[in-house]
Amino acid sequence: MEPLNVGLLLFLPYRAMEARVFTGLAEAGFDDVTPAQARVFQRISPHGSRLTDLAAQAGVTKQTAGFLVDQLERAGYVDRVPDPADGRARLVRVAERGARSVEASRAIVAQVEAEWTAHLGEHRMVELREILTDLREITDPWR
């Protein structure tokens, strides 16, 4: 049997983590977020982001990002505020409910990472994190 390519080997654990996070968020009362919304939401910077930046980072059109942000805003996860650097522009910020969902997701991610560490061992998990961090240098234009 031919070995799986590295892209797929990276994708499989990502999807497993994503599924655990969505299950845990639903159990914590955040059952109204879709994966598409989350891909935009997780790219919001701590001080807010412009819609065009969110769209570029999520790999979607500005219209799609706007639609997803509208949904997130109606659900109370984000809000829009004037951009202090440009009065004509608006920033998307994480709202209070969104911040609570982030805290819930961090706990779930920590649990999954602890399970992976138990499976791989501390040393290999540290190596994995270092290798993936190094790979990010050539794969993440927004690092």
Q: Which domains are present in the chain?
A: 1-31+99-143 (no CATH), 33-94 (1.10.10.10)
The structure's pTM equals 0.88
Checking if the pLDDT of 143 tops 80, the result is no
With 90 as the cut, is the pLDDT of residue 141 above it?
no
| Encoded tokens for 68 | 């997803």
| pLDDT 10s digits, 75-130 | 999 999 999 988 888 999 999 999 999 999 999 999 999 999 999 999 999 999 99
Cα-based distances in Å from 19 to 12, 57, 107, 108? 11, 21, 14, 11
With 0-12 / 13-18 / 19 or more C-beta atoms within 10 angstroms meaning exposed / middle / buried, residue 104 is middle
